[in-house]
Amino acid sequence: MRVIITGASGRMGQMLIRAVAVALADGVSLAGATERAGAVAVGKDAGALLGMEPLGVLISDGLEQCGAADVLIDFTAPEACLTHAKFVAAHDMAMVVGTTGFDAGQQAELDDILADTPTVVAANYSVGVNLALNLIQQAAEVLNADYDAEIYEAHHKHKVDAPSGTALAMGKALAAGRGVVLDDVAVYSREGITGAREQGSIGFSVVRGGNIVGDHKAMFIADEERIEINHFASDRMVFAKGAVRAALWLSEQPSGRYDMQDVLGLK
C-alpha cells in the first residue's frame, strides 16, 4: 500500500512518517509527503527530516509532485484538507481524514467531494479512544438522565479548536446512548449566573496548556456515585499507528464513508 502524508513537518505529520516507516514490513510504503509552499521542510528527505535513515522521498509543496499512491492521510486544517480531498477524488485514491475543526459548511463540502471515495473519518485514531467511545455509548444506555453527564478534555497550548474532535465524539456517543441529538443538549460554556443545571444536558470543559498530548474523560454523576471513563494519551504515535492501520484496512474497502469503529469491527 502506497501512502501520501500531508502536513509532513507538523506534529502529526512527523509521527505519521515514523509510523509508515515502522509499517514497511506490513507492505506500507511512503509515496509522497507534502508541506505548504515556502515551508522549511520542502525539498528535504522525509526520513532525514526526522533524524531517521533517508526514505528516498523528498517533501514537496504539491500533491501533483508525489508518486502514485493508494491512500492519502490528512491531519492538517479544514481548508487544506478540502483541497487535498479534491486531489484524492480526482485520482481514484482512498483517504484517511484526521483533520478536525470543520464548520457545518466545510463538513458538507468534504462529504460531497468524497461521496464516491473510500474514506475513513475519525476524530481520534487511537484504538483505546475508540474502545472508550463504545463504552461511553453503552454506559449512557444504562445511566439515564438521572446521571449528570460531563465531558472534560485537555490539550497542548497550540491546539486551535475547542472542544476537541474527540470530546465531541464522546458527546455524540453519549447522546446516541440516550437517544438524543448532541446539539439539542450540549452546554459548551458556563459563565456568570447560569442557573441550576438542566437535567439531561451534556456539559463540556476545556483545558489548553503546555504540551499535553490529549486527556479525555466522560463522567456520569449521580448524588450517590460517579462513573468515569478516561483516556490519556502520552505519545502522538498512538494516533499515527491507528491512522496507518485505518489506511491498510481502507485500501481493501469499496467506496463509502467509514470510521474507526468500522476499522476495529466494533459495529
| Enzyme catalytic residues | 155, 159
Selection from 38, 26, 32, 37 nearest residue 13 by Cα: 32
CB 151 within 8 A of CB 212: no
Cell numbers for 100: 478536525
Q: Which amino acid is at 240?
A: A
C-alpha to C-alpha distances, 12 to 6, 8, 46, 225, 245, nearest whole angstrom: 10, 8, 13, 38, 15
**Can you tell me which residue has the cell 517533501?**
59
Three-class SS state of 62: coil
Distance of CA 215 to the CA centre of its chain: 14
Cell numbers for 67: 508518486
Three-class SS state of 80: helix
Tell me how crowded residue 64 is: count the other CB atoms within 10 A of its CB.
9
Ramachandran area for residue 91 (φ above 0: left; ψ -120 to 50: alpha; else beta): alpha
Residue 244 and residue 250: Cα distance in Å, rounded? 10
Three-class SS state of 114: coil
Largest Cα separation within the chain, whole Å, is: 61
Ramachandran area for residue 179 (φ above 0: left; ψ -120 to 50: alpha; else beta): left
